[in-house]
Structure 1
Amino acid sequence: MDIEPQIVEVDAKGKPRRFVFVLLENFTMLCFASAIESLRIANRMSGKKLYDWIVAAEVDGTIACSNGTEFAVQMGLDELTRDDTVMVCGGIDVQKATTKKMVSWLRREARRGVTMGGLCTAGYTLAKAGLLDGKKATIHWENQDSFAEEFEEVTLTKSVFVVDGNRMTTAGGTASIDLMLKVIADDHGEELASAVADQLIYSSIRTDQDTQRLSIPTRIGVRHPKLSRVIQMMEQNIEEPISPAVLAKDVGMSTRQLERLFRRYLNRSPKRYYMELRLQKARNLLMQTDMSVINVALACGFASPSHFSKCYRSHYDTTPYRERGAHAARLSI
């Protein structure tokens, strides 16, 4: 039996605020569903139609998300009103999905003063259109390295979401809920936002001060404070690697002690772990940017392309050039 909710009184005047959800090819279903469900529940909990929404895309008919589920497209890249709010939903291979037509449309609508958001990886799409220049933004942690390299004029953060003026970005997944709860609170008050969170069984509402990734100890299962500090320094110094001796000295231990810690907790040497971090970033840059292999090597602390290629082949069993070629071939299918 459907139980009527306890209505949260809000002072709503005028027509509903309309959200235009622009779905990119291979968008992430979770970021879209989290956002649209938050709006639906806000309507239900207020007993009023506070929000309206429509699904748009560059293609006609249907568009598939990354898990294969298809959604009906209700409108194309049509002209909007200044009161509309655009939410671009990104996902896998956002570079390919960010077409010239999409970028041109976003720029045109931005000139009208339309508020725009990028969910999951769609922060890339907004940045490609130049709509995040001089602003703070965030994007899914897998795309942070390539985004930072390509869009130097954007202040990239690791927050779960960012609101800077009339631009919004999220890190993906359930971060859409956090952003929408803020939107609802700003529009109609904290009481309604809290009621929506309760309906979603969302007990830990995050703010723009919360970071998207787990802490280092939680992420790698290591709670040794000095080891965590060393790993943090490694992650923050990829382009100019720090020697194990300096890392050890900075946390007040000998190089031998640091070696033992890494062997005990991570079953590898500090040098090996550091190399894996650098190669992981290099792989992200090869897959997500058009940077030359030489520049990728330099960005990840390798003095020469030949040394980079040798290390890359040893770890991934392929060369950087073949990796990029294989990735390009997959995208063209």
Structure 2
Amino acid sequence: MQQSSGPQVFGFMLTDQFSLIAFTAAIEVLRLANRAAGRKLYEWQLYSADGKSAVASSGVAVSVDRSFRDAPNMDAVVVCAGVDVQLIDHRDLITVIRRLNKFGAALGAVCTGTYVLAKAGLLDGFRCTIHWENRPGIQADFPDLDFGDELFEIDRDRFTCAGGVAAADMMLSLIKRDHGEAVSSAVTDQLIHHRIREASERQRMDLRTRLGVADPKLLRVIALMERSIERPLTIAQFARSVALSPRQLERLFLKHLGSSPNRHYIGIRLTHASQLLRQTRMPILDVAMASGFSSASYFSQSYLERFGHSPSAERKAAVG
């Protein structure tokens, strides 16, 4: 971001159902930076679609200064979004952020705000990231964009993060870049955050922690399952990848997870399908194929058994 003689002005664009924790993590870092520096490094204003209070996904209402349309030129824009971002009409916001960008504003996003920047065509040629749960949907909608798995990405005048407390790490990194390590370290101490996490750190807990298992062969197979969704492998192929027989692999899964390898694998693929159904407008057959199911009837049956409702019911609930 370009440095000016006065404070850098940030505009936080709060969409309907925005993530309160991601917004708060971002804005509080700026407040604490001013306190640590003993002078005003940053100013900010809040905006909503209609200029009235914006309601977060938690139901908390946050007062704003102006509507999107009334936003003046500023140094940086931060789009704060949350659940069901793809179902909201962002036309006014997109018009505004395109205008602000033309006048030199850097563009940022927390949580699913990345989707709005992508829809505006403002991430072309930039590396970016989004919350892991929303990555399958946004990659389906914008297959040509460069999405990573990182906590946050700062690429020239674009900065995006996965949401949650990763918003604090991203803003701390911006402060460190613009105002030095002394200020960023002081803010980190105030947050009792211990350290600024690197952008490249994982969004999710590693498999060992997430599943509560330590067997290296089991973990390798599950990691391979999570990478092999659209083009499924057979259980025999998974077993060969860790020098086991299918029967040995079956025993390993039953011992540590209480489930067969096939059932666990189908669960991974159905979870992926559920994300696509809720986050995209892909036809249900395309969702089935993108999740490794070649038969629509088998996909529907498996989905019903797993979630208690059909793929079409999932889609209907998501859009309506």
- TM bucket (normalised to shorter chain) is over 0.9
Which residue identity does 1:66 align to in structure 2?
S
- Whether 1:152 aligns to 2:143 is yes
- Whether 1:308 aligns to 2:299 is yes
Q: Tell me how far apart the structure 1 counterparts of residues 210 and 47 of structure 2 sit (CA, whole Å).
A: 37
Which residue identity does 1:192 align to in structure 2?
V
Q: Tell me how far apart the structure 2 counterparts of residues 80 and 165 of structure 1 sit (CA, whole Å).
A: 22
Aligned to 1:287: 278
Q: Is the Cα contact below 8 Å between 1:24 and 1:98 reproduced in 2?
A: no
Over residues 41-92 of structure 1, what are the superposed CA-to-partner deviations in whole Å (9 max), with x where a residue is unaligned? 11111110011010011112211111111111102223532x5200011111
Which residue identity does 1:282 align to in structure 2?
A
Q: Tell me how far apart the structure 2 counterparts of residues 110 and 13 of structure 1 sit (CA, whole Å).
A: 16
TM-score (norm 1): 0.92
- Whether 1:114 aligns to 2:105 is yes
Identity %: 42
**SS, match of residue 117 in structure 1:** strand
**SS, match of residue 183 in structure 1:** helix
Aligned to 1:24: 15
Q: Is the Cα contact below 8 Å between 1:134 and 1:153 reproduced in 2?
A: no
Over residues 290-326 of structure 1, what are the superposed CA-to-partner deviations in whole Å (9 max), with x where a residue is unaligned? 0000100110011121221111112112111122112
- Whether 1:317 aligns to 2:311 is no
- Whether 1:96 aligns to 2:79 is no
Which residue identity does 2:72 align to in structure 1?
L
Aligned to 2:190: 199
Q: Alignment partner for residue 64 of structure 1, among 55, 63, 76?
A: 55
Q: Tell me how far apart the structure 1 counterparts of residues 319 and 43 of structure 2 sit (CA, whole Å).
A: 39
Q: Is the Cα contact below 8 Å between 2:304 and 2:310 reproduced in 1?
A: yes
Which residue identity does 2:29 align to in structure 1?
S
Q: Tell me how far apart the structure 2 counterparts of residues 80 and 234 of structure 1 sit (CA, whole Å).
A: 49
Structure 2: tracts of 5 or more residues without a match: none
Aligned to 1:80: 72
Q: Tell me how far apart the structure 2 counterparts of residues 273 and 181 of structure 1 sit (CA, whole Å).
A: 39
Aligned to 1:213: 204
Aligned to 1:230: 221
Q: Is the Cα contact below 8 Å between 1:138 and 1:156 reproduced in 2?
A: yes
Q: Tell me how far apart the structure 2 counterparts of residues 155 and 13 of structure 1 sit (CA, whole Å).
A: 30
**SS, match of residue 67 in structure 2:** coil
TM-score (norm 2): 0.96
Q: CA deviation at 1:327?
A: 2.4
**SS, match of residue 248 in structure 2:** helix
Q: Is the Cα contact below 8 Å between 2:173 and 2:196 reproduced in 1?
A: no
Q: Tell me how far apart the structure 2 counterparts of residues 134 and 71 of structure 1 sit (CA, whole Å).
A: 34
Q: Tell me how far apart the structure 1 counterparts of residues 307 and 181 of structure 2 sit (CA, whole Å).
A: 49
Over residues 17-61 of structure 1, what are the superposed CA-to-partner deviations in whole Å (9 max), with x where a residue is unaligned? 011011010111111111111111111111100110100111122
Aligned length: 317
Q: Alignment partner for residue 131 of structure 2, among 140, 146, 151?
A: 140
Aligned to 2:247: 256
Q: CA deviation at 1:253?
A: 1.4
Q: Is the Cα contact below 8 Å between 1:21 and 1:86 reproduced in 2?
A: yes
Q: Tell me how far apart the structure 2 counterparts of residues 239 and 215 of structure 1 sit (CA, whole Å).
A: 22
